[in-house]
């Protein structure tokens, strides 16, 4: 049985193991076709997001099979791409509302072990995160590298994220997506 929960400091090793397994730079071109993560989190960065209740995990027996990061823009500003995204907010809206650092948060990355993909794990871990962060934020924002087609389809088809823009950063093309946090994904098709 797969369980989801907010991560704690004892989960760091399992998160790092999963991260290394699916980090873009560690995969062959063929392996990348199945999805990947690009942001390598350090132990201090993981400890910081855990302290903010912003790391969620799915586990099967004693193994971490998935993780999802979610946090304030203040936390994510330590990476240049997020500062760039924040600078674009005045031009963006979602459900006829402006997007700000106060009414939204950054979701992602999310990583699921390939042996558990297609089994509803994404919906389970996302719902765990959604319930927790909906207490503070009505909107979630994320971005996906346009070449990561698996991730784009998973988020738009399985979870119902909406693409709100496309942008270029460091010679890559990304899509920005938004999600209405009051919408449960547990009954979505997996």
Count of other CB atoms within 10 angstroms of residue 102: 10
* Cβ atoms of residues 106 and 55 within 8 Å: no
Three-state secondary-structure class, residue 107: strand
Task: Write out pLDDT tens, residues 140-182.
Answer: 999 999 988 888 998 999 999 999 999 999 999 999 999 999 9
18-72 pLDDT tens trace: 998 888 787 778 877 677 777 889 999 999 999 999 999 999 999 999 999 999 9
Average pLDDT rounded to a whole number, residues 98-103: 96
Query: What pLDDT is attached to residue 151?
Result: 86
CB atoms within 10 A of CB 4: 19
CB proximity list for 116: less than 8 A, separation 6 or greater: 2, 58, 60, 65, 66
Residue 69 pairs with which residues in a beta bridge?
A: 55
CA end-to-end span of the chain: 17
Rounded distance, CA 174 to CA 4, Å? 29
Dist. CA 46–CA 54, nearest whole Å = 9
Quick one: CA torsion of 185, 140, 52, 186, rounded to 10 degrees? Answer: 0
Name the one residue in this structure whose structure tokens are 């760091």: 12
pTM (predicted TM-score): 0.90
Given this model, what pLDDT does residue 13 score? 96
Q: How would residue 100 be classed by pLDDT, with cut points 50, 70 and 90?
A: very high
pLDDT of residue 28: 78
Please give the pLDDT value at position 60. 96
pLDDT at 189: 45
Gap between the Cα atoms of 100 and 13, Å rounded: 33
């Amino acid at each position: 049985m797969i369980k989801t929960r907010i991560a704690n400091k004892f989960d760091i090793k399992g998160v790092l193991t999963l991260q290394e397994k699916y980090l873009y730079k560690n995969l062959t071109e063929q392996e990348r076709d199945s999805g990947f993560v690009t942001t390598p989190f350090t132990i201090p960065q993981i400890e910081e997001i855990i302290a903010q209740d912003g790391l969620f995990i799915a586990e099967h027996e004693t193994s971490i099979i998935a993780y999802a990061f979610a946090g304030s823009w203040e936390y994510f500003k330590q990476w240049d791409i997020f500062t760039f995204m924040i600078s674009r907010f005045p031009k963006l809206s979602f459900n006829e509302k402006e997007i700000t650092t106060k009414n939204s948060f950054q979701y992602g990355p999310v990583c699921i072990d390939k042996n558990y993909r297609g089994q509803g794990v994404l919906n389970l871990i996302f719902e765990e995160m959604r319930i927790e962060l909906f207490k503070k934020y009505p909107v979630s924002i994320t971005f996906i590298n346009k070449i990561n087609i698996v991730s784009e389809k998973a988020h738009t088809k399985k979870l119902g994220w909406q693409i709100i823009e496309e942008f270029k950063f460091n010679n890559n093309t990304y899509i920005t997506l938004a999600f209405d946090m009051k919408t449960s994904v547990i009954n979505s098709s997996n």
